[in-house]
A and B are shown apart, each in its own frame.
Chain A
Amino acid sequence: MKFSKFSALAATTALCAPMAYADGHMSNELTLVSWGGAYQSSQHKAYVEPYLAMNPGLKVIWDESSAEAVAKLRAMNEAGNVTWDLVDAVASDSMRLCDEGLAEEIDHDNDLAAAPDGTSASDDFGALLVSDCFVPQIVYSTTFGYRTDLIDKPDSVCAIFDLDKYPGKRSLQKRPIDNMEWALYCDGVAKDDIYDTLSTPEGVDKALAKLDTIKDSVVWWSAGAETPQLLADGEVVMGSTYNGRLFSAIAEQNQPIGMLWDMQSFDLDGWVMPAGLPEDRKARAMDFLKFATDTQRLADQAKYISYGPARASSAPLVGKHAELGIDMAPHMPTDPANAGNVHVYDYEWWADNRDDLDGKFQAWLAK
């Protein structure tokens, strides 16, 4: 019964599909899922406002659910009722969604705009196209901010483990990713050996033992807004968070906070399209996706938030902050001055080991 109904539906969709494409019929509603806050508003200003100006009848709805994108898409898929058109997700989530068949595969060269000089989209994004379902927008980093008035200027990420020289609480993200790597790095493991070490049970114990030395002084965060709040409060003297959040606290809110770029952990954020959208909605989402990820739009986004555009061709177009008028390039995680010593976070290693290490990390936290 269920099957026949489904196949009938599929047949109808298949029949209607060419027609829908042919007359270019596109849905008048577009539901975008993102992270809220300053990041979502940068997307709204850089992509959505110009797109709305080109498409007057369109209604764009924002849903701030990216944090639980995977779980919600699974539930929507199970219930047969996908209400989202485009989802902003981090690279590892996009890989999981793609593997589970919950995300639409994108033909990067045909579906996306080429660079102004004619370079194809796949060359322009280059190595950042980590999954067939993923269209990267930005490169961001998880890095440290510190209170300039409460502690001395730290010059290495290992300051977080140095309670004597930098006394006070520090905030870390409540997950093993990055924290385990920083712990091993500061325990003397060479940068290239971090993932090899972490693949052994002894390596995991070593990382947890290092984290144990500061456990009593750590405030664990789960939302990106927490560390800026804790730093502004003076409740912690240093803490990790997304570099754009720190930029906003420093440049826009004038808080006494400094950036510690050492061993910043790069990650990608981009669009994912749920699989199996009705044709009119899919056509609308594709049209928006092509517009929103072109060279100029990605460069425009950097006017509002200090995340690096994912296209190589956008980098030269990065200008000044839209309201403050300061040069944005030096605040980008990809700026050479900031990227002297970076931690390249290994998506694939984490995709394979995440469940196991999550369990160990949670057990360690509860101890």
Chain B
Amino acid sequence: MALTPVKKQTPTFTASVSAAAGAFAGLFVGTAQGSGLLGIVVGALLMAILGFVSTGLIEKEKIVRAVVLVACGIAGFAIGGLPAGIIGALFGLFFGWFVFWLATGRYRSRLAPYLTSGQVLWHFTFRVICGVIFVFLITPILVVMPLSFNAQDFFTFTPEMLRFEAEGYSLKHYRDFFTSDQWQSALRNSLTIAPMATVLSVGFGTLAAIGLSQPHVPFRRAIMAILISPMIVPLIISAAGMYFFYSRIGLQGTYFGVVLAHAALGIPFVIITVTATLVGFDRSLTRAAANMGADPVTTFFKVQMPLILPGVISGGLFAFITSFDEVVVVLFVGSAGQKTLPWQMFTGLREQISPTILAVATILVVISICLLTTVEMLRRRSERLRGITPT
């Protein structure tokens, strides 16, 4: 839907904006090739020429874009073989579209007609900044994934991998994870500790949140602050404290000790999420239930619980992930018999840099994505059932 009629832009405008984009891309390509400065200059120059030329060739857009695509692909191939060729072609695809998007003035069509040039510029700059932040957050995770299929025992993109040859890739690190006793016992420990810690955190955290939301409880703020403190106190301090305390009462190095420690770490998350949902909870509902003869327990499970359930579930999810990801406290409170996955990954990373860690990381990332997707879908479904349109 065009909001604003488009009009052709001047060659100078197209050339200068393209040059800026070219300089940005050139910075990365140049740095990878050894000289960032040269990359900026060459990128800006090439893109300026392309921008300038294409303003005059708007009628032949398809042909010019195809030529740019092929040229960039070939240039990439010449620099670094097939993988660079594909990246080059992607660059070509983007910049071919980009210059014509500028030159024809299409970029303006979806924006309100009264915006000034400055506002239009900010509109797109803002999106670029968001995109860059997203890339910085997500790239480290994405880089790990192909490395986990490495046929070698190092964190290295081998020449075979970069040439996309089948022998450069293997599933041996995944096989190693599923067949090694150490990894399997670590997985088992994590899978027995995390759910138990989650159950405890959710139980205690929900009760605490409900209790603390009653206006007549004395010292509410102080109690709240103490219960939240495991989130604020540096983990290493809590861990050292727990170590000495648990040692004296015989809990150090036991399964139950680790579960308790992780439950203490998970409780703040549950309290915070449940308290947040309780803010929107209408207390007259509990009075109405009492009026109809329901005792407090029935009221809680039939009236209050269903309404605060989203908060309980997301709190529980955070508690689970905290326990599943935690390495500092378990190093202190656990003994080798309670070695969890993060512990095993930590020692593996320090003593033997093996891509098995990356295989495990990839599996965990996939599981986390599935878990979060499921929760989000459940949330939307429940909101739909209750007649709230998801935003």
Contact = CB atoms under 8 A, between A and B. Distances in A.
Given A83-B335, A233-B156, A226 B353 contact: yes
Contact of A79 (B182, B252, B351, B353): B252
Contacts of B253: 81, 83
Given A63-B336, A81-B247, A223 B351 contact: yes
Given A61-B336, A253-B154, A79 B348 contact: no
A343 B153 CA distance: 31
Q: For the complex, would chain A's binding face be called helix, strand, loop or mixed by DSSP majority? A: mixed
B350 A253 contact: no
A37 interface: yes
B244 A36 contact: no
Contact of B352 (A36, A61, A80): A36
A78 B247 CA distance: 10
Contacts of A83: 252-253, 335-336
A66 B351 CA distance: 10
Contacts of A228: 154, 353
A225 interface: yes
Contacts of B248: 79-80
Interface in A78-100: 78-81, 83
Contacts of B182: 62
A81 B347 CA distance: 22
A81 B248 CA distance: 8
A31, A40, A63, A253: which has the most chain B beta carbons within 10 Å?
A: A63
Contacts of A317: none
B351 A35 contact: yes
A31 B353 contact: no
A232 B156 contact: yes
Contacts of B348: 36
Contacts of A62: 182, 336
B152 A253 contact: yes
Contacts of A223: 350-351, 353
B279 to A, nearest CB: 43
Contacts of A225: 350-353
Interface string B64-91: 0000000000000000000000000000
B52 interface: no
A112 to B, nearest CB: 25
B155 interface: yes
A199 interface: no
Interface string A258-286: 00000000000000000000000000000
A79 B244 contact: yes
A31 to B, nearest CB: 6
Interface in A113-166: none
Interface in A21-43: 31, 33, 35-38, 40
A169 to B, nearest CB: 15
Interface string B312-340: 00000000000000000000000111010
A229 B155 contact: yes
A76 B332 CA distance: 10
Contacts of A253: 152-154
A81 B351 contact: no
B interface residue count range (under 10 / 10 to 19 / 20 to 34 / 35 or more)? 20 to 34
B100 interface: no
A63 B335 contact: yes
Interface string B244-259: 1001100011000000
B156, B337, B347, B352: which has the most chain A beta carbons within 10 Å?
A: B352
B351 A64 contact: yes
Contacts of A38: 352
Contact of B152 (A37, A63, A78, A232): A232
A31 B337 CA distance: 9
A82 to B, nearest CB: 10
Contacts of B244: 78-79
Contacts of A203: none
A319 interface: no
A75 interface: yes
A35 B336 CA distance: 13
Nearest to A29: B337
Interface in B230-289: 243-244, 247-248, 252-253
Interface in B92-131: none
Nearest to A66: B351
A168 interface: no
A224 interface: yes
Interface in A1-53: 31, 33, 35-38, 40
Nearest to B337: A61
Nearest to B352: A37
A80 B244 CA distance: 9
A253 B352 CA distance: 13
Interface string B146-165: 00000011111000000000
A37 B353 CA distance: 9
Nearest to A67: B350
A19 B328 CA distance: 40
Contact of B247 (A31, A79, A224): A79
Contact of A31 (B152, B156, B335, B351): B335
A229 B351 contact: no
Contacts of A40: 351
A65 B244 CA distance: 18
Nearest to B185: A61
Interface string A218-237: 00000111101100110000
B154, B252, B351: which has the most chain A beta carbons within 10 Å?
A: B351
Contacts of B336: 31, 33, 61-63, 65, 83
A35 B352 CA distance: 9
Contact of B350 (A36, A78, A233): A36
Nearest to A41: B352
A76 B247 CA distance: 8
23 contacts: A31-B337, A35-B351, A36-B350, A40-B351, A64-B350, A64-B351, A65-B347, A78-B244, A79-B244, A79-B247, A79-B248, A80-B247, A81-B247, A83-B253, A83-B335, A223-B353, A225-B351, A229-B154, A229-B353, A232-B154, A233-B154, A233-B155, A253-B152
Closest 5 CB pairs of A and B: A36-B351, A63-B336, A79-B247, A37-B352, A81-B247
Given A36-B348, A62-B336, A76-B247, 18 more contacts: A31-B335, A35-B351, A36-B352, A61-B337, A63-B335, A63-B336, A63-B339, A79-B244, A79-B248, A79-B252, A83-B252, A83-B253, A224-B351, A225-B350, A225-B352, A232-B154, A233-B154, A233-B156
Interface of A: 31, 33, 35-38, 40, 61-65, 67, 75-76, 78-81, 83, 223-226, 228-229, 232-233, 253, 255
